Structure 1
Amino acid sequence: MPQGSTTSWSYILIRLLFKFVLKIFYGTIVVENAELIPKTGQPCIVCANHPNCLTDALLLVTSMPSKTRNMLRLTAKSTQFGHRTFTSWLVESAGTVPIKRRKDFNGNQVDNSQAMDKLMEALELGDAVCLFPEGASRYHPTIAPLKTGVARILSDVLSRNRDDPNFSVSILTCSVTYMHRQHFRSDVLVTFNPPMTFTPKDNPELLAPVQYEEIKAVTARMQQQISSRTIDSPSWEIVRSAKMATRIYAPLGTLMSLGDYVRVTRTFVEAFKASDDSQKSERSAEDQSVDFTREDAEFSQLRRDLKDYQDQLVYWGIKDDRITHPLSRRTVIMRMVIRLAWSICLSIISFPGLVLWTPVFATTYIAVRNFKKTGPIWNTWDEIAQRKLVYGLFSGLSVWAACILLTLPTAAITCFLVPALMWMTLRWMEDAVSAFRAFMALARLLGVGKKTLNKIRTTRRDLHARLMNLAVGTLGLPDDPERFFVESGGKQKGRVRSKWDSGAKYFSVRRRRKRDWNETLRLYDQVDYPEEGL
């Protein structure tokens, strides 16, 4: 039985580095179904959707428990190799295999035979290799049609080992969902799906010469698995409306697990997709039942009304929970005073650490701003998180080294004190920004007249009634989401399940308590997306 390759010390260091930078950049990384990962020695092809360039690979490496898989052999576009850059060193040190893409060679034919041989040799040793079957990272709300390369490698490696009928290879699909992939302190969900296992004995249809239809069938199964556990939408507008629907249907914030939040949002996305597709189709009326037509029209109208409601909230700068739970003017003013005082207090104690963070924030801001100028959103925004991670790491290490040099007599203390101060400052700053964001939301609430608030509140009540009717009656969602989702989902990173837990996490040094899964380290709530077609 294969034993798998020995983990090199450089890979171990790289994995630790990956964990460090990802935990700084993303607030919460939730990994689901890690127990489904085949163990070291069992050949495995790990495949995931590819929304976030190099960050996706880093995320998969750190999400696989080292006790289960000692290493994950990565692949990356060949243009990442051979440069005197940190990114190039990073991918090469992790044992990454270069893949040539036709788009990087002016559309000419490319030869990846050596790369494929290396991947198959790794599988025969019992390793896990990582491939992104979309072929390229992309800043889109939908998953691109998967290419057949993974199924072809599967067929080739099974054919090479046809004399061993029990030789097995697993395809482990993974669904990655970023709440806001490029924003500092956002959240990420990584869901591993049940592995598909193939052997020469059980799958003779995949042995050479193989029919192309068999290759397509395996690829279609992969596509279905990956898209079934993440938010896969044809437009940002549908994602926006679906998140608004989730917020109204289950306004639980982080009492709801991140996994449940993504699955409920996906349910609404799928319903909105179906209604959108049916309106665009030219099917005749007799091809569909009366009930389907009525429900379809209701979902389509609901989506438009949710968009209008969200637009109203954005226009006035208020949040849905302030509409759900109205406050008296006196209470609003009292809370404003508390939030502002708390924000000022935290900002003051954060000032020494902010001096250290300023070069990091300035460097990443300039790097990202210049990078955005190089191309359109769809071709550059998938690399923003990577740029922030790389430039943030470099500038952060530079600050740390400069502090040690400036305090050489006490360098033994400084080398630990500076990272600790920067981490605590980040925690205090998260709470300071959150408090100021709440202060501004309350201030804007005062600016909305009673008549307007009552009108918005009436709109929300109508939306809630229609949404519950469709969610429970048509989509099969629980009729008591407040109770169901608090009790389900288990204990996940970042979620709270009681008032005591909420208070404990608020003062936690490791992780702050978020109010909802869309929260990022910004002075405004992140509810909008790029315009369609950019």
Structure 2
Amino acid sequence: MPSGSPTPWSYFFIRLLFKFVLKIFYGTIVVENAHLIPPRGQPCIVCANHSNSLTDALLLVTAIPSKKRNLLRLTAKSTQFGKKTLTSWLIESAGTVPIKRRKDFPDGQADNTTVMLKLIEALECGDAVCLFPEGMSRYHPTIAPLKTGVARLVSDVLSRNRHNPKFEISVLTCSITYMHRQHFRSDVLVTFHEPIRFTPENNPELLDPVDYDKIRALTARMHQQISSGTLDAPSWRLVRDAKLAARMYAPLGTTMSLGDYVRVVRTFLEAFKLAERPIPESGSEGETVKKEGALEDFKIRQLSNDLRDYQNQLARWGIKDDRIRRPLSRPIILYRIFVRFSWSLVLLSISIPGLLLWFPVFVTTFIAVSRFKSTGPIWDTWDEIAQYKLIYGLVSGACVWGGSVLLTLPVAPLTAVLVPAAMWMSLRWLEDAVSAFRAFLALARMLLRIGQRRLHEMRAVRARLHARVMELAVGTLGLPPDPEVHFAESGGREKGRVRGRWASKAKYFSVRRRRKRDWNETLRLYDQVDYPEDEY
């Protein structure tokens, strides 16, 4: 049995480095079903959706346990190679294979014959190869149609090893779901699916000469697996509506696991998508069924529209649905305003020394990203924002650390440890300060801008919407009727998740990560609920 290629020192270094950087940039990274990853020495092609440029590859490299795979052979567009940049050096040092895209070579010079041969040889050695079958990264709410390259690669590998009927190659699909892919301290879900296994003995239909329908069928199967674990929508509007429906159905915050939250959002999203599909023509015997289906679709579309209007009003007021769900008296609002404002000032005060160290990092990253955004449209540039933030944050952070050590040479060993510790704790306290101040702003708006009368009217609107959401969830979609109990108990121990009142209090003061109240949170003074316009 092949043992796989040895791990280059540069790959080991890059994996360790970016595991640290990704944990700083993203608040919570949850990996599901890591036990399904084929072990070292078994040929494997890892395929995932591709919406966040280089960050997707780095996330997969760090999400796959080193005990399972010592090396994930990456691929990247050839235009990333040969440049005098840190990104180019990282890509080349990790043993990444360059792929020529037709859009980058309009003269027809996009020949990947040699590259594919390298990938085949790597698989025959027992390596795991990472490919993104969409063929490109883009900032879009839907998964692009998959290219057939992965299926053709499986066919080529099986055909070359037809003399060994037991030779096995696996396709491991993976779904990556970013709550907000480009925002600091957002959350990420990485879900691995059951690998699809192939042997020359069991899959003669994929041996050369192969029927191209079989290639398309395998590609469609991969697309179905990948889309089943993430949010795949034709518009940002539907994603926004589905997230609100999920929060109204199960307003558990992080008591619900991140995986359960994504799956509930996806359940509502699929319902909204189906309701907008054109109804096929049917014969006279199907007219009754057709009318019933049209009526159900109309009800779901109307619910989606009403949820959108409700969310728009919340966004104009600058509050969350939870503020409407839980009515508060004026004295309680005044008390909480005082507590939240005071606590935010305390946390901000103790984090100031560390924030002085973070200031050059934030400024450098902000300038770099602002300049990059101006170079192109949203759909072609926003998928690389996280990549830019990671790279520029890493470089500027390393400069801050190195400069601090040099300026304190007599006690450099102590500074080398204390500076990262101070930066981490100040970031933790800053998150809590921002969260407390965000709550203060929402409560102040409720008291001074909205008023009790309009809040009462909005609660009546929400009550009607909640009843319709529960009817759809339980009656049509088959979701549990008591989400407060079901999702609080389902799932296991998960990063960032809070279970029970004691865990909630303990995690608030945790050194490792803060307690979030909502998986939708980012390090911002406002709730991130809006997306770019669909025309982008």
Q: Provide the residue aligned with 1:4 in structure 2.
A: 4
Q: Provide the residue aligned with 2:117 in structure 1.
A: 117
- Cα distance in 2 for partners of 1:393, 1:470 equals 46
Moved over 2 A (4+): 106-109, 281-291
- Cα distance in 1 for partners of 2:469, 2:345 equals 40
Q: Provide the residue aligned with 1:483 in structure 2.
A: 485
Relative distance call for 1:98 and 1:436 in structure 2 (3 A) is same
- Cα distance in 2 for partners of 1:29, 1:342 equals 28
3-state DSSP of counterpart to 1:82:
coil
* 1:290 CA displacement: 3.2
1:511 corresponds, among 513, 517, 522, to: 513
3-state DSSP of counterpart to 2:276:
helix
The aligned amino acid for 2:416 is C
Instruction: Render the CA deviation track for 1:5-44: whole Å, top value 9, x for unaligned.
Output: 1112221111101101100100000000000000001000
- Cα distance in 2 for partners of 1:356, 1:514 equals 24
Pair 1:342 & 2:324 matched = no
Q: Provide the residue aligned with 1:422 in structure 2.
A: 423
- Cα distance in 2 for partners of 1:308, 1:104 equals 43
Contiguous gaps of at least 5 residues in structure 1: none
- Cα distance in 2 for partners of 1:144, 1:205 equals 26
3-state DSSP of counterpart to 2:46:
strand
The aligned amino acid for 1:416 is V
* 1:282 CA displacement: 7.2
- Cα distance in 2 for partners of 1:294, 1:473 equals 15
Q: Provide the residue aligned with 2:26 in structure 1.
A: 26
- Cα distance in 1 for partners of 2:423, 2:170 equals 43
Q: Provide the residue aligned with 1:295 in structure 2.
A: 296
The aligned amino acid for 2:100 is K
Query: Does structure 2 conserve the Cα–Cα contact (< 8 Å) formed by 1:494 and 1:511?
Result: yes
Q: Provide the residue aligned with 1:204 in structure 2.
A: 204
3-state DSSP of counterpart to 2:76:
strand
- Cα distance in 2 for partners of 1:449, 1:336 equals 15
3-state DSSP of counterpart to 1:421:
helix
Query: Does structure 1 conserve the Cα–Cα contact (< 8 Å) formed by 2:282 and 2:290?
Result: no
Instruction: Render the CA deviation track for 1:325-382: whole Å, top value 9, x for unaligned.
Output: 1111111111111111111111111111111100000000000000000000000000
Q: Provide the residue aligned with 1:147 in structure 2.
A: 147
3-state DSSP of counterpart to 1:183:
coil
* 1:449 CA displacement: 2.1
* 1:452 CA displacement: 1.2
| Residue pairs, 1:303-452, within 5 angstroms | 303-446=304-447, 447-452=449-454
Query: Does structure 2 conserve the Cα–Cα contact (< 8 Å) formed by 1:49 and 1:143?
Result: yes
Q: Provide the residue aligned with 2:496 in structure 1.
A: 494
* 1:284 CA displacement: 8.2
Q: Provide the residue aligned with 2:55 in structure 1.
A: 55
* 1:112 CA displacement: 0.6
3-state DSSP of counterpart to 1:89:
helix
Instruction: Render the CA deviation track for 1:115-145: whole Å, top value 9, x for unaligned.
Output: 1011110100001000000000110000000
Instruction: Render the CA deviation track for 1:60-83: whole Å, top value 9, x for unaligned.
Output: 001101101111000000011111
Q: Provide the residue aligned with 1:472 in structure 2.
A: 474
- Cα distance in 2 for partners of 1:532, 1:107 equals 32
Relative distance call for 1:434 and 1:282 in structure 2 (3 A) is farther
Q: Provide the residue aligned with 1:213 in structure 2.
A: 213
* 1:277 CA displacement: 1.2
Using the size of structure 1 for normalisation, the TM-score is 0.98
* 1:226 CA displacement: 0.3
Instruction: Render the CA deviation track for 1:248-287: whole Å, top value 9, x for unaligned.
Output: 00000000000000000000000000011137x7778956
- Cα distance in 2 for partners of 1:15, 1:101 equals 26
| Residue pairs, 1:73-152, within 5 angstroms | 73-106=73-106, 108-152=108-152
- Cα distance in 1 for partners of 2:281, 2:334 equals 55
Q: Provide the residue aligned with 2:164 in structure 1.
A: 164
- Cα distance in 1 for partners of 2:58, 2:384 equals 13
Q: Provide the residue aligned with 2:187 in structure 1.
A: 187
- Cα distance in 2 for partners of 1:502, 1:175 equals 29
| Residue pairs, 1:270-281, within 5 angstroms | 270-278=270-278
3-state DSSP of counterpart to 1:500:
helix
Pair 1:256 & 2:262 matched = no
| Residue pairs, 1:513-532, within 5 angstroms | 513-532=515-534
3-state DSSP of counterpart to 2:171:
strand
- Cα distance in 2 for partners of 1:270, 1:167 equals 38
Instruction: Render the CA deviation track for 1:209-246: whole Å, top value 9, x for unaligned.
Output: 11110100100000000001111000000000000000
Instruction: Render the CA deviation track for 1:145-199: whole Å, top value 9, x for unaligned.
Output: 0000000000001000010000000000000000000000000000000000000
The aligned amino acid for 2:122 is A
The aligned amino acid for 1:224 is Q
Q: Provide the residue aligned with 1:457 in structure 2.
A: 459
3-state DSSP of counterpart to 2:98:
strand
Contiguous gaps of at least 5 residues in structure 2: none
3-state DSSP of counterpart to 1:133:
coil
- Cα distance in 2 for partners of 1:309, 1:127 equals 51
The aligned amino acid for 1:70 is N
Aligned alpha-carbon RMSD (Å)? 1.2
* 1:295 CA displacement: 1.4
The aligned amino acid for 2:356 is V
- Cα distance in 2 for partners of 1:301, 1:341 equals 43
- Cα distance in 2 for partners of 1:236, 1:362 equals 30
The aligned amino acid for 1:258 is L
The aligned amino acid for 1:92 is E
- Cα distance in 1 for partners of 2:462, 2:147 equals 43
Query: Does structure 2 conserve the Cα–Cα contact (< 8 Å) formed by 1:3 and 1:125?
Result: yes
Using the size of structure 2 for normalisation, the TM-score is 0.98
3-state DSSP of counterpart to 1:525:
coil
* 1:289 CA displacement: 3.0
- Cα distance in 1 for partners of 2:148, 2:57 equals 20
Relative distance call for 1:107 and 1:373 in structure 2 (3 A) is farther
| Residue pairs, 1:239-254, within 5 angstroms | 239-254=239-254
Query: Does structure 2 conserve the Cα–Cα contact (< 8 Å) formed by 1:252 and 1:482?
Result: yes
Give aligned pairs, total: 533
Q: What is the percentage of aligned positions where both structures have the same residue?
A: 69
Query: Does structure 2 conserve the Cα–Cα contact (< 8 Å) formed by 1:278 and 1:296?
Result: no
- Cα distance in 2 for partners of 1:453, 1:439 equals 17
3-state DSSP of counterpart to 2:450:
coil
- Cα distance in 2 for partners of 1:272, 1:284 equals 26
The aligned amino acid for 1:194 is E
- Cα distance in 2 for partners of 1:513, 1:108 equals 53
- Cα distance in 2 for partners of 1:284, 1:402 equals 76
- Cα distance in 2 for partners of 1:517, 1:291 equals 36
- Cα distance in 2 for partners of 1:465, 1:284 equals 35
3-state DSSP of counterpart to 1:45:
strand
- Cα distance in 1 for partners of 2:394, 2:508 equals 27
Q: Out of 509-518 and 441-450, give the one that drifted further.
A: 441-450
The aligned amino acid for 1:377 is I
Query: Does structure 1 conserve the Cα–Cα contact (< 8 Å) formed by 2:8 and 2:94?
Result: no
- Cα distance in 2 for partners of 1:282, 1:27 equals 48
The aligned amino acid for 1:348 is S
